[in-house]
A and B are shown apart, each in its own frame.
Chain A
């Protein structure tokens, strides 16, 4: 079947719109999608990307990255195993990732202070605690904005969230809000227009739309009206993009799909690799089910860790073998860790005070464990790290200036990094 949106042969898209203007329609050619061009330049990535593996619900860090086999009360049943990073051991249920640890680092001394899902999610995505007077952009949206504003020819969203809505873009506007992929194993819904709407009709629709849209903006001039137009422009670009097949994982060899796993997290990791390969700046892949107030150990060993390990291990190995790892920062985190204390339901509860995150790639040093908790996993024993330190480390790795500052719509200056210091062991 011919895709319904192919530009007539030999005709540049803008040229084509110009032709339409001369028809009986009598409406000047719409400047609605004034930045619409035939195709984005393909090829090698010109900037860094980031993939965040988001463990929604709060992952039990003590059973994954910071095992306490010597703690009688808090240790739990899992055993540590050695990894490809000398001196760094992780959970026995993470064998594939263990082979990739020389590419990654564990930070075991994060104190994030927010033990509520919504607030923790906000904090870890933005670097800021929620504040009633301003909605901070997600860090991913800030990166998309920084990189995206330098790339005017890119048909895919700069910021994509898989299996999660992700964090909004706040005052950066709807066009930097993550594009959510609900199910990486299914096609993107409604990506093609109905069969009876050919390119001529689609263009006519857009011209008619642009007239209403622009008049309304002229009268009202308010942000939501401007955002609406920007999102439509982005949507049209995606519909027309030659990259729209990027979302089809069936194009991957069976061996690759099997390596990642076909569960939503594994498929999400594979889609993330495909997206950063094409130049998408920020991809978040979420995995749910981590709010293990009860039956923590069964849930981890039978369901959560096998999926996590398969996806994360395959992704790291794949990025490395394709030479993409130096340009792609990988971060593993959730909204908080879980209590050292094991509750009467064999669960662990919310714990932001001393927990672990993992990051590597993007050109940072690797194979290290940064910081430590005490014997029972309760207090930070060495090298405390704050959320803004993580944000600073990630921002520096992305090649974005730590002094980057925005002005909110209310005239308030807001920094991407506010008071944090990049972790010198990683990005010294």
Chain B
């Protein structure tokens, strides 16, 4: 693993009125890793992602994504980062190819390469067969995979995935997780994965961070967190046990 920092934040803070959504967040993600971003609902994970994309302005602190400041150069950041929001929406009246063409156009990809690229990403997410069906008829799992195809069309260096497996059946969730893992392995895409499915996160993440009430309370590999928290060397802890421990304390 190279030691280049893809994401780095220093004292990142976001306040909505009196409420502090993200409090003095300092963390970093290195190139080529899958970083599991954990925390209860409303702990500030999505807000952090929005700030890293330049869609929300930090109240204090700074962030760097691929060496760029998202506040100053949001367009450049968004060119490199594929962001899959929580509960991403679809244009129900379009089919998969039309949706992808629209997203490709917005990314300035046009000309002869578009249709080839669309075929390629549809193949990656396994939607080639349903490419010409209206998205309105898709199941939730298919929509989520279409969402992944839409962020892949720009050849991103980094993926921000916000709850990509939320509400999917076990099979659908498994496919999404598999896709994420293969993207990381084959294309060397760095992934920032926010999820509540601790089992999946443990399976594919190199490191995890646990965020509670806007603060990053723990960061590191699952094994090292287990050691740190329970100080028992011989037994392996699941991420779930570690998470619950932090959660009860937080």
Chain A bound to chain B? no
Chain A residues with CB under 8 Å of chain B are none
